[in-house]
Structure 1
Amino acid sequence: MISLKIDDVKSFMAKLLTNTLFDEFVLKEMEIQTFTSFNVTGQFHESFFSKDELEERGSSAVFWRDIRAIALAMIRGNKTPLSMKIVFQLPKGDYGKFSESLGVKFNLEEVAGLFLNIRFEKNELRIITGTAMKIFTLDKTIDQEWDTWVKKFLHSQSIYFEEE
C-alpha cells in the first residue's frame, strides 16, 4: 500500500470526470460531500435489468462508466466538493493481464481485490493503493507489483504525483 499525492488536482479531476480513463474500473464505493452527502454503494441490482439487457451488459459489476456522468453532475459548479472518496477495483477479468504485464506469475485465485482509493479533502488529492488476499500470506509481492503498476499507469497518463 502506498499513498500518492496528486500534484495537479484540477487536471486529474478533469481526467476522472470527463475522460474515459477510469471507465473500465469497477466502482466499489463513492462518497461526495457538497451541500449534502451523496453515497453510492456500487452494489449491482440485477432485477433492474431485463434478461437481454443483462446479457448485453456482460457483467454484474458497476463500472465507473456507469456513474461518471452522475458524479460530474454532483460536482459541477464553481465550488469544489468538501470531500470525495472513490474506491475502484481492477476488474477480476483483468488480473491475468495485470500479472502478464509485469512478467510475474501468481495464483490469481488467491487475490480478492486490487484497489485504488481516491480521496479528496482539504483541497488535496491522494490515491492510496490496496490489495486484498483470500489467504494469509507474508509475501508482499502482489502488493508491491500493484503499487508499481499503479505508478506506471498514472505516469503513462501524465498524472504526476509525489509518493508519501
Structure 2
Amino acid sequence: MNILTLSAKNCMSHLLLKDTFDHFSFIEGEITTFNTFTIDGFLKKDFFDETPEDVHSHWKDVREFCFQIIRGKRTPLSFKIILSLAPENFADFLLKYEVSGFRPEDIQGMYLNLNYDGTRLTCTTGISLKLFTMDKTLEKAWDDAAQKKLLELELVI
C-alpha cells in the first residue's frame, strides 16, 4: 500500500476531463458539495436488455455524472472515489510486470482510492485477493506501477 499526495488541479483534470482512468472499474464514490452524493458502482443487471459481463461500471460511464456534481465555482467539501484496474486487464498486468504465482481469477481488485478532504488529495493503492497468501509480489508490483504512472502524469506532489 502506497499513500501518495496528489496535485488536486492536475488530478481532477485527468480524472474528470480526460480519458486517463476510463479503462478502470468504478467501485464507489462519495462526493460532498451542497449535499452528499453516494454512488454505488455495481451494475444493476436487470436494467439491461443484454446482461453485461462486468460487475462494476467503468469510470468512463460515470465520469460525466461525477463532473456535473463537482463542477462549479466552489470546490467540493470532500470526495472519495474508488477505482480498480478492470478485471479484463488483470492478465495483461500479471504478464507485463512478470508477477508469477497469481492467476487473474485470484484477484478481487487492484485499487486506487482517491480521497479529497477539502484541502489535500491523496491516492492510496491496494489490492484484494480471493485467496489467502503471504506473497506480497502482486501488491508490490501494483504499488510500483501505480506510483510510476501517477508520476509520469505529473500528478504526485
TM-score bin, normalised by smaller chain: over 0.9
Determine the C-alpha separation between the residues in 2 that align with 1:140 and 1:13.
30
Q: In the TM superposition, what is the alpha-carbon distance from 1:61 to its structure 2 partner?
A: 2.8
Q: In the TM superposition, what is the alpha-carbon distance from 1:60 to its structure 2 partner?
A: 4.5
State whether structure 2 residue 4 is matched by structure 1 residue 9. Answer: no
Letter matched to residue 68 of structure 2:
A
- What residue is the counterpart of 2:56 in the other structure? 61
Determine the C-alpha separation between the residues in 1 that align with 2:127 and 2:38.
23
Superposed CA deviations along residues 39-84 of structure 1, whole A, max 9, x for unmatched, are 0011101221223xx5xx6645301111100101001111110100
State whether structure 2 residue 146 is matched by structure 1 residue 150. Answer: yes
Q: In the TM superposition, what is the alpha-carbon distance from 1:15 to its structure 2 partner?
A: 1.0
Letter matched to residue 49 of structure 1:
F
Letter matched to residue 36 of structure 2:
S
Superposed CA deviations along residues 117-151 of structure 1, whole A, max 9, x for unmatched, are 00000310000011111222222111111100101
Q: In the TM superposition, what is the alpha-carbon distance from 1:89 to its structure 2 partner?
A: 1.0
- What residue is the counterpart of 2:27 in the other structure? 28
Determine the C-alpha separation between the residues in 1 that align with 2:81 and 2:122.
11
Between the two proteins, the alignment pairs up a number of residues equal to 156
State whether structure 2 residue 67 is matched by structure 1 residue 80. Answer: no
Tell me, what secondary structure is at the counterpart of 1:131?
strand
- Contiguous gaps of at least 5 residues in structure 1: none
Tell me, what secondary structure is at the counterpart of 1:31?
strand
TM-score, length-scaled by structure 1: 0.89
Tell me, what secondary structure is at the counterpart of 1:88?
strand
Determine the C-alpha separation between the residues in 1 that align with 2:92 and 2:119.
34
After TM superposition, the structure 1 stretch with the greater mean CA deviation from structure 2, 58-67 or 30-39, is 58-67
Letter matched to residue 147 of structure 2:
K
Determine the C-alpha separation between the residues in 1 that align with 2:53 and 2:44.
14
Note if contact 2:4-2:156 (Cα within 8 Å) is conserved in structure 1: no
TM-score, length-scaled by structure 2: 0.92
Residue from 90, 95, 99 that aligns with 1:100: 95
**Percent of matched pairs sharing the same residue:** 32
Note if contact 1:87-1:118 (Cα within 8 Å) is conserved in structure 2: yes
Q: Which runs of 4+ in 1 moved over 3 A?
A: 57-60
Note if contact 1:99-1:106 (Cα within 8 Å) is conserved in structure 2: no
- What residue is the counterpart of 1:141 in the other structure? 137
Determine the C-alpha separation between the residues in 2 that align with 1:133 and 1:104.
14
State whether structure 2 residue 120 is matched by structure 1 residue 124. Answer: yes
